[in-house]
Amino acid sequence: MVTAQKKIEISRLTVRFGSKTALKEVSLDVAPNEILAVIGPAQSGKTTLLKVLNRTLETSGDAVMEGTVRIDGEDIMRSRNVYDLRRKVGMVAPLPVGLPMSIYENVAFAPRQAGIEPRRELDAIVERCLRQAALWDEVKDRLDSLGSKLSGGQQQRLTIARALSHQPEILCLDEFSIAIDPVTTHRIEDVLQELRREMTILLVTNLVQQARRIADRTAFLLNGELVEVGPTGRIFSDHPEQQKTYDYVHGIFG
């Protein structure tokens, strides 16, 4: 159940790339163990919002950010250790990108980098993460096989398992279902419903019905501005607060 606490606090966030404004004065809170869907047409700032949260936006040399973003009350832009932040905020990209190594090593890579060496401990982490990603039963007898040999849907779940391997408190997913079939999409949605017991989840999706199925609340971005955020049931009803929201979720534009 969503609580009144704030896991993420975004206040007047503006992001510019040169002369282009990607986000304009976005203010948004996310509660612990909430699934927040972020919807909107292309170029609305959805991916930029996720990249701000784990500071991968900094890899874009021309990005300029104004405003504040706090996680657990800490201003992330003032945090000295960006690597700790990125362990706290896991990211799953739109297309599955498996590391060129075995299934086992794909999941064990981050824990090894964090200094975990005992094989028994790594084995436990790999099994836990693959189970959480609903992949264990399909790959447990071929963990030494290349992750890149898995099907598209399996590779996406492997990507989720890898994101879970450093035990994030926040999981960000950017269009995870772009390259996978509907059956696998629904399976991962079930996984996310289980994971929300342990973490906060932000889900960027162009599939408005996906947001409707699994999100506690939904935020609608348009041209870099937050048009509306609220309980998913209200956003998808016949009476959201903004006409633009109604028009988008009912397919009148976008």
Convert the pLDDT of each residue in 44-57 to its tens digit.
999 999 999 999 99
Per the CB < 8 A criterion, the answer to whether 39 and 221 are in contact is yes
Kindly state whether residue 138 falls inside one of the protein's structural domains.
no
Kindly state whether residue 213 falls inside one of the protein's structural domains.
yes
Task: For residue 101, give the nearest of 92, 110, 93 by alpha carbon.
Answer: 110
Kindly state whether residue 68 falls inside one of the protein's structural domains.
yes
Per the CB < 8 A criterion, the answer to whether 155 and 147 are in contact is yes
Question: Residue 181 above 90 pLDDT?
Answer: no
pTM here is 0.91
Kindly state whether residue 243 falls inside one of the protein's structural domains.
yes
How far is Cα of residue 180 from the mean position of the Cα atoms in its chain? Answer: 17
Element (H, E) at 35: strand 35-39
Report how many domains make up the chain: 1
CATH number of the domain encompassing residue 212: 3.40.50.300
Kindly state whether residue 61 falls inside one of the protein's structural domains.
yes
* Domain assignment of residue 26, given as a range: 8-96+168-249
How far is Cα of residue 253 from the mean position of the Cα atoms in its chain? Answer: 25
**Lowest mean pLDDT across 50-54, 170-174, 180-184:** 180-184
Kindly state whether residue 108 falls inside one of the protein's structural domains.
no
Kindly state whether residue 127 falls inside one of the protein's structural domains.
no
Kindly state whether residue 217 falls inside one of the protein's structural domains.
yes
